[in-house]
Structure 1
Amino acid sequence: MPSLDISLPHWAYWVGLIVFPLVAMVLARRPQPQHKTYGLGLGYFILLTGGMLGLHRFYVKNLLGLLFIPVFLAILYANAQGQDARSATSNANNIVRQAERLLDREQDRVTAAEADLPTLRAELIAAQAEEEAGSFALRRVERNVERAEQRLNEGRTRIAEATSDLETARPIALTTLNALAYWNNFAKYAFWVLLAAMAIDVFLLPGLIRRANANLPATPAMSEAEIALKKLEDSERKEDSEWVSPGWSGWIDRLSLFAGEFVSYWAVIAVFVYYFEVITRYVFNSPTNWAHESMYLMFGMQYLIAGSYAMLTESHVRVDIFYAPMRKTNKAWVDLATSVFFFIFAGTLLWTCYIFSFDSIAVPTGNGVVSEWARGNLSFGEMVGSLNLAQWTDPAIRWGEISFNEWEVPLWPMKWVMVIGGLLLVLQGISKIAQDLRTVLKGA
């Protein structure tokens, strides 16, 4: 299989987190047609993202998409067999290398021992004739002979074992190497078959969309029961705009609604990223070094930014056995009394996030003017005056903390997003107090 080594640029990561939600929000606000039809744009999008599984044909109810699945499964099977063959080849090659190094080392030692042993034995015979039994000189010569014989025997044993390992491992290495080449070619040719089928469907898809739309049944008129059910569902559904309070606090509520909707589309990005990771790992044998880290950092930011939205729409889990039956005015009094605990939490969160964020740009590895300012080496005016294009584009300049893996994504922007999340939460708490005061004053 061809390699697919793609490392996501840091700027592309941030552009995607900002641009994709904005585009999605615009598309979500478009008026929806009454009669649903198949779209060519969506068809090509599915072809691009899920074409290897034939999902574009399933989209238009074409059963020929089933032909894509066994080919795709064959690629996964071939890759799994290739990984096993690669591991077996690596193990066999390691045994061969170790055995060859052992032979090179032990053969020299055995040769030296064989050359020294006759001399040592002659010394032993002479010592036995000249020295008394049990004397120090005799024992020393005897030990030298014993050590030489032991070294010779051990060396010969190791050489025999290494020779046996070579005779066993070399054929295995050759066999597994051939198996690896076979399964790699199998997966490669199956992949080219899928690519060819997808390329053909690029031209066939408009016709498939037209036929699918032509086969759509006419939209039946809704019955009275269906109309009544739809009205009931519409009446029970509370739109986000209905959470906006009147007066000056409304702009805080709208900001929380925007932030919540904005980060909600990040979950869609996660689907595409993890899909890409699965495909690159199991189809191209090229796992990424950025997919997992980029997503858990994104979810951390999403969790904090969406906090104000969850507070506004009362989405947090809470036990309200005594709170729920209360009148609206009494609920407002309870909320005002307990708001002090909320602001202790939210204020601590905001201040702690600010400390973490400021420290993240003051780390010693930061060599940009912003880091110099954070460390107190530059005044704010000097920092602003020193900013230039190189501070933004030079890859050698780091404004602050970065991750420890190969992707080396800057971590300080994520920590400043934590500050934004804490600030939004505090603002939403202020809006909630304003609403409760209105309720208490009006006595509603």
Structure 2
Amino acid sequence: MPGLSFTLPHWLYWVGLIVFPIVAMILSRRPQPKEKRYTLPLGYMIAVTGGIIGLHRFYLKNMWGLVYLPIFLFVLYANGQTQDARTILSGFANELRVAERTLEREESRVDEARANLEELQATYDAAEAGSFTQKSAERRLTRAQDTISKGEARLESARATLEEKAPQRDEAARTRAFWDDAAGYALYLILALLLIDMILMPSLVRNANNKLPAHEKMSETEAALAAAEAAEAPKTDAERAENWIDRLSLFCGEFVAYWAVIAVFVYYYEVIARYVFNSPTNWAHEAMYLMFGMQYLIAGSYAMLTESHVRVDIFYAPLTRPKKAWVDLLTSIFFFIFAGTLLVTSWIFAMDAIAVPSGNSVLSDWARGQIGFGEMLGGFGANQWSDPNIRWGEISFNEWEVPLWPMKWVMVIGGLLLVLQGVSKLSKDIREIARGN
């Protein structure tokens, strides 16, 4: 069974977090066709990401995707059998290794004891009866005899283990190889079917579109009903944005929302790598763990703008708008204490993260106060970006060793956005109170 050894480069991680949301936001703002149809780009994307279980066929409402499922399940079953055989093989190998070491150790000890046995017996016989010399010789003679008897017992047991376990080890090795090959052949079959579908994708999409029912225009009654429902719908996020701070929070919230889509792809890759290729990653969980932490911080201002935070409003909900504004104004004291503490603490964390001694990084030297800001800017060159001996600040303890200082600076950005959104909310409350209606 082939394995995967791919490790996500740090630069690709950050490029993905920045570029993917931008592309997704651009695509989401394209004019949507009135008639929903299957598209070739989406078909290929699903084939690349989920083709191994036939999702591209199901997307096109083609039941031939069911062919992929039993093959894929067989791959999972064969990999499970391979892992079981590997465990059994490892157990037999350990027993044989112990037996071989026992043979190697005890044979030399028994041979040495046998070689000295005649001399020890002669020394004992020549010693005066009851003397210290005779007692000492007797102890050495008894020890040599015990070494021989116990060593022979261990040798016999080790030889029996070798004779018994060696065939079992060989059988376990053959079983492991069989299931490993079976999983590999099944995977190659899926890849062959997927390659064929890649070639057939244009015709598959065309046939799926031809089977779509004719598009029916909406009647005047249905159009009027849809317009009434749209008028009664709650205020959209865009309608909540009244100033540049609101628009900034709205943009940041939408930007990081698309990170959840990245998580779907990464965890899908992790599952396939772990259970199909027996190659679990050392970066997927940490990458998503850090990403969701940054998402939580950046989305705080968006949640505040859209009033998405959880709160108990038994007494708040029945109030009039001016009274709600008074309540919000008074409770904003506690909000700014929290948001200000978050911002200051995050700034300290971020500065500490880049102040970690890290080679010849002028940025870390500046953060530790060893050089001034102007000297730091003047010291920047291509080597600060390309020299492998230079890293900026704190890194994770995982084998992936991703830099942690960018996450700490995202905490600063999240705290700043939250403070700004608090200022925007405060100004709205003051205006609401001034209106008094």
TM-score normalised by structure 2 residue count: 0.96
Paired letter, 1:239: T
From 316, 320, 323, give the equivalent of 1:323: 316
In the alignment, which residue of structure 1 is the partner of 2:435?
442
Gaps of 5+ in 1: none
- Pairing partner for 1:257 from 240, 250, 258: 250
1:242-264, CA deviations, whole angstroms, 9 ceiling, x for partnerless residues? Answer: 1113xxxx110100000100000
Residue identity opposite 1:241 in structure 2: A
Q: Which residue among 240, 243, 246 is the counterpart of 1:243?
A: 240
Query: What secondary structure is seen at the aligned counterpart in 2 of 1:288?
Result: coil
Return 5+ residue gaps in structure 2 as ranges.
none
Preserved CA contact (<8 Å) 1:367 1:400: no
Structure 2 residue identity aligned to 1:131: A
Deviation of 1:143 after TM superposition, in Å, equals: 2.1
Give the secondary-structure state (helix, strand or coil) at the position aligned to 1:306: helix
User: 1:232 aligned to 198, 206, 229, which one?
Assistant: 229
Q: Of residues 412, 419, 423 in structure 1, which corresponds to 2:416?
A: 423
Show CA shifts across 1:395-420 (max 9, x none): 22101001112211100001100100
Shift of 1:234: 5.5
The match for 2:263 among 270, 274, 282 is 270
Q: 1:29 corresponds to which letter in structure 2?
A: R
Q: Given that residues 307 and 425 in structure 1 are in contact (C-alpha distance below 8 angstroms), is that contact kept between their aligned partners in structure 2?
A: yes
CA distance in 2 between counterparts of 1:322 and 1:33 reads: 45
* 1:345-367 CA-partner distances (Å, limit 9, x unpaired): 11111111111110001112353
**What is the aligned-residue RMSD (CA, Å)?**
1.7
**Counterpart amino acid of 1:175?**
E
CA distance in 2, matches of 1:110, 1:393: 62
Higher mean displacement: 143-152 or 5-14: 143-152
Find 2:199's aligned residue among 203, 227, 245: 203
Residue 407 of structure 1 corresponds to which residue in structure 2? Answer: 400
Task: Tell me which of 130, 147, 152 is aligned to 1:151.
Answer: 147
Using the TM superposition, give the Cα deviation of residue 31 of structure 1 relative to its aligned residue in structure 2, in angstroms: 1.6
In structure 2, distance between residues paired with 1:205 and 1:231 = 41
Give the C-alpha shift of residue 145 in structure 1: 2.3
Q: Which residue of structure 2 lines up, in the alignment, with residue 213 of structure 1?
A: 209
Is contact 1:356–1:415 with CA below 8 Å preserved after alignment? yes
Cα distance in 2 for partners of 1:100, 1:343 equals 71
- Deviation of 1:170 (Å): 1.2
Partner of 2:391 in structure 1?
398
Q: Aligned partners of 2:264, 2:224: CA distance in 1, in Å? A: 35
| Distance in 2 of aligned mates of 1:197 and 1:335 | 61
Equivalent residue, structure 2, for 1:73: 73
1:23 is matched with 23
* Paired amino acid for 2:148: L
- The match for 1:34 is 34
Give the letter for the 1:202 counterpart: M
Counterpart residue type for residue 177 of structure 2: A
- Offset, 1:290: 0.9
Partner letter of residue 48 of structure 2? L
- SS of the residue corresponding to residue 358 of structure 2 reads coil
Question: Deviation of residue 139 (structure 1)?
Answer: 3.2
Give the residue type in structure 2 aligned to 1:422.
G
Contact 1:82 1:183 in 2 (8 A): yes
Task: Check conservation: 1:402, 1:412, Cα contact below 8 A.
Answer: yes
How far residue 239 of structure 1 moved from its aligned partner, in angstroms, is 1.0
1:278-357 to 2 correspondence within 5 Å?
278-357=271-350
**Partners of 1:256 and 1:424 within 8 A in 2:** yes
Aligned counterpart in structure 2 of residue 194 of structure 1, from 187, 190, 195: 190
- Check conservation: 1:366, 1:400, Cα contact below 8 A: no
What residue number does 1:90 align with? 90
Conservation of the 8 A alpha-carbon contact between 2:4 and 2:273: yes
Which of 164, 173, 181 is the aligned partner of 2:160? 164
Percent identical among aligned pairs is: 60
Contact 2:353–2:408, Cα closer than 8 Å, also in 1:
yes
Deviation at 1:55, TM superposition (A): 1.0
Q: Is the 8 A contact 2:359 2:389 kept in 1?
A: no
Which amino acid in 1 is paired with 2:311? R
Q: C-alpha separation between the residues in 2 aligned to 1:61 and 1:90? A: 46
Instruction: Provide the C-alpha distance between the structure 2 equivalents of 1:233 and 1:435, rounded to a whole number of angstroms.
Output: 26
Q: CA deviation at 1:236?
A: 2.0
**In 2, Cα distance between the equivalents of 1:351 and 1:139?**
82
Deviation at 1:180, TM superposition (A): 1.8
Superposition deviation, residue 94 in structure 1: 2.2
1:192, distance to aligned residue in structure 2 (A): 1.4
Conserved? CA contact 1:86–1:180, under 8 Å: yes
CA deviation after TM superposition for structure 1 residue 221, in Å: 4.8
Distance (whole Å) between structure 1 residues aligned to residue 91 and residue 67 of structure 2: 37
Structure-1 residue corresponding to 2:173? 177
CA-to-aligned-CA distance 1:121-176 (integer Å, 9 cap, x gap): 3333344xx233xx544433332222222222221121112112211221122111
Q: Deviations over 1:255-291 (max 9, x none)?
A: 0000100000000000000001111111111111111
Post-superposition Cα deviations, 1:89-117, rounded to whole Å, max 9, x if no partner, equal 22222222221121111100011111222
1:52 aligns with 2:48: no
For 2:33 and 2:409, locate their aligned partners in 1 and report how far apart those are by CA, in whole Å. Answer: 41
